Amino acid sequence: ATFTTRAVVAPKSAKGAFMGNAHALRASSKMVSCKAVRLTTTMAANPEVSASYAAALLEMAKGTNSLEAIHADMDSLDTICTEDLMQFLANATVPKAKKIAVVESIMKEGQFSPATGNFLNLLIDKQRIDLLSEIIESFDNLYCEETDTQVATVTSAVQLENEQQFLIAKKLQEMTGAKNIKLKPQVDASLIGGFVVTYGVNGSSQIDMSVSGQINKVASSMGVSVAEMA
């Protein structure tokens, strides 16, 4: 799941994208999981092909003024790209009609745009559906470049509320000057309390507001290890 803020306030679409249609989409994913045929071969990564399809999707989205809608669809799809689902769609022994039926079910429950459905069917026709996860990642990178979006990971001891995430995103926006901020929340109980924000090129910058981080700083200033303080 992600949380995006635009300009000073978060739009309704951002909150909708964050909340998503996860329950409905996961229901479709579980349905596929029961039917999926386990494959013994591993689907190989193909970054160049994935990047090509992602670029084509971006240009199509821009040309039809549906960039935000398709990006929201890709975010939602990312939550259900399970191994079982991908194996089912990539399995050459499964009739194309069944794959299309599953895609249509996901489209309906996720309320995706028709353009997204057409793109997924194209991947099925071209036998490139196994690259969907890579295409989504590549598309997201292109989208962030296109919209001046700074991507940041916020790791917290407990799940943060939407309002807390918005405040963090807004502060980060002020610090970086980025037009948009996209937060990717994670939970790590070992932080004890607080949160850590990682952003910048390859996660080069970090804001550590966690309890464990503060303990480490105190221990370091005293010249002792955290274990010795325990």
Of the chain, the end-to-end C-alpha distance in Å amounts to: 36
* pLDDT score, position 227: 60
180 Cβ contact partners less than 8 Å away, ≥ 6 residues apart? 4, 5, 6, 7, 147, 148, 149, 150, 173
* pLDDT score, position 20: 37
Q: What is the pLDDT of residues 200-210, one digit of tens each?
A: 877 889 999 99
Which of 138, 119, 140 has its CA nearest to residue 129?
A: 119
* pLDDT score, position 11: 34
Give the Å distances, CA to CA, from 58 to 67, 72, 114, 186, 229.
7, 13, 15, 27, 53
Q: At what angle do helices 132-146 and 114-125 cross, to 10 degrees?
A: 140
Sign of CA dihedral 174, 175, 181, 184: negative
* pLDDT score, position 219: 74
114 Cβ contact partners less than 8 Å away, ≥ 6 residues apart? none
Specify the residue for token string 């963090």: 168
Structure tokens, 182: 């996209």
d(CA 166, CA 17): 13
* pLDDT score, position 89: 87
* pLDDT score, position 213: 85
* pLDDT score, position 230: 56
Eight-class DSSP state of 9 = B
Alpha helices in the chain (DSSP H): 12-19, 22-35, 47-63, 67-78, 83-90, 96-110, 114-125, 132-146, 162-176, 211-221, 226-229
Q: What is the pLDDT of residues 74-92, one digit of tens each?
A: 999 988 888 888 888 888 8
d(CA 57, CA 90): 20
* pLDDT score, position 45: 63
Which of 208, 201, 79, 218 has its CA nearest to residue 156?
A: 208
Q: What is the pLDDT of residues 16-53, one digit of tens each?
A: 333 334 444 444 444 444 444 333 334 456 889 999 99
d(CA 128, CA 19): 29
* pLDDT score, position 223: 72
Eight-class DSSP state of 160 = P
* pLDDT score, position 224: 64
Residues of the chain with pLDDT under 70: 1-45, 224-230
